[in-house]
Each structure stands twice: as structure tokens, then as C-alpha cells.
């Protein structure tokens, strides 16, 4: 009698992922992130995506005004098998600017993902991942439909509050005072 053996995926840790990067396994022009132990190729950043990130940097940096740290396309450590690289993260301030360790979920005040070609992946994989790790507030900017989805109140099953905003409406962050955005600023 033959016993069926089901192949298993080998998932790697953040430590292994970082060592691979240090060893030069990933080409410098290749954008990758580690999600639940799997190395994910991130798509190239097109002009609409890049422009939206620049607009957000311009707007948010003035509003933050030293109250927090604005981080752009850098990793956050969620657990031993996930180290995503969100487009923008507003972090709790630290005098060492996180020189000694990668920011974790508890350091995140607001996380923003800009989605054009990655919208389904962001909805189905990244947003639930952020909720499971307690990221308190996520803004998903849907470039194609010109809407910003705001996710709040994370639970292990997902966010319990989801609201969509369009041009002319004002989003106010709940996790840091003074942060607000009219989606029309990004879609003009």
C-alpha cells in the first residue's frame, strides 16, 4: 500500500530572509517582502503610485510636525515570518529613529498602502495580516476606483470598522491627532 505524501512548502523566517538579502540573493533592483514565510515579489512602482506616495509624504509630513516619524517603503516586523514593506507608516517617535531594531506593529500609529495592480492582494492578504497583528488603523488607497478605504478596530478575524471615502470627504486619523486627508488631493 502506497502512502500519499503531500508536499509541504518551506516557509522561511524573517532572520533567514534578512540573511538572504545581506548575501545578495535578491538583485538590488528587485522589490521583495516576506509575508507569512513566503517571499513575495512586489510589482514595479508606476507613475500614478509613485505620485500618490509623494503627495502623501508632502501632506503628512507637514501635519505630523514632529509628533511622530514618517516612514516610506521600509519594513515593519510583524512576527518571525512576516516583514512587509508598506508604502507609508506613521510610527511612534523614538530618539534613535529605530536604529537598533525594525519597527513592529506596536510602533505603528497609521499604515497606508497605495494600490493599483496590487488591490486584490492587499484586500485578501495584507489587510487581514495587519488586523491579526493589531495595526490600529490602515488606509488603503485604491487608485483605480479613486477611493480610500479606512480600516479600524483590528481583531484576529479582521477589522470591525471599514469605511470608504471619496473626493470631497475628509478622513481624520483616530490614532494620531492632526492627520487628515481629502482623497481628492490624491486623485486630481
pLDDT of residue 43: 84
| Mean of all residue pLDDT scores within the chain | 93
pLDDT of residue 29: 80
Q: Is the pTM of this model over 0.75?
A: yes
What is the per-residue DSSP string for 23-57? TT-S-TT--EEEETTEEEEPPP--HHHHHHHHHHH
C-alpha–C-alpha distance, residues 49 and 64, integer Å: 22
Architecture of domain 46-187: Alpha-Beta Complex (3.90)
φ, ψ dihedrals at 133, nearest 5°: -100, 5
Cell of 32: 521583495
pLDDT of residue 118: 85
pLDDT of residue 75: 96
pLDDT of residue 27: 85
C-alpha–C-alpha distance, residues 186 and 188, integer Å: 6
Cell of 29: 533592483
Q: What is the pLDDT of residues 125-152, one digit of tens each?
A: 999 999 999 999 999 999 999 999 999 9
Q: List the chain domain ranges.
A: 46-187
Asked whether the predicted pLDDT for residue 103 surpasses 90, the reply is yes
Tell me which DSSP letter residue 174 carries. S
Asked whether the predicted pLDDT for residue 33 surpasses 70, the reply is yes
pLDDT of residue 129: 98
pLDDT of residue 1: 60
CB atoms within 10 A of CB 96: 7
* pLDDT over 90 percentage in the chain: 80
Amino acid at each position: 500500500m502506497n502512502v500519499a505524501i503531500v508536499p509541504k512548502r518551506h516557509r522561511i523566517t524573517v532572520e533567514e530572509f534578512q540573511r538572504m538579502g545581506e548575501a545578495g540573493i535578491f538583485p538590488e533592483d528587485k522589490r521583495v517582502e516576506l509575508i507569512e514565510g513566503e517571499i513575495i515579489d512586489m510589482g514595479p512602482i508606476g507613475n500614478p503610485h509613485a505620485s500618490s506616495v509623494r503627495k502623501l509624504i508632502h501632506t503628512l509630513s507637514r501635519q505630523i510636525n514632529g509628533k511622530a516619524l514618517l516612514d516610506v517603503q521600509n519594513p515593519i516586523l510583524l512576527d518571525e515570518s512576516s516583514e512587509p514593506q508598506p508604502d507609508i507608516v506613521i510610527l511612534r517617535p523614538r530618539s534613535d529613529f529605530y536604529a537598533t531594531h525594525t519597527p513592529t506593529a506596536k510602533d505603528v500609529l497609521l499604515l497606508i498602502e497605495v494600490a493599483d495592480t496590487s488591490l486584490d492582494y492587499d484586500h485578501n492578504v495584507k489587510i487581514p495580516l495587519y488586523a491579526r497583528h493589531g495595526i490600529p488603523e490602515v488606509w488603503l488607497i485604491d487608485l483605480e476606483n479613486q477611493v480610500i478605504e479606512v480600516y479600524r478596530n483590528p481583531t484576529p478575524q479582521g477589522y470591525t470598522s471599514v469605511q470608504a471615502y471619496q473626493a470631497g470627504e475628509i478622513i481624520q486619523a483616530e490614532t494620531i491627532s492632526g492627520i487628515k486627508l481629502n482623497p481628492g488631493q490624491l486623485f486630481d
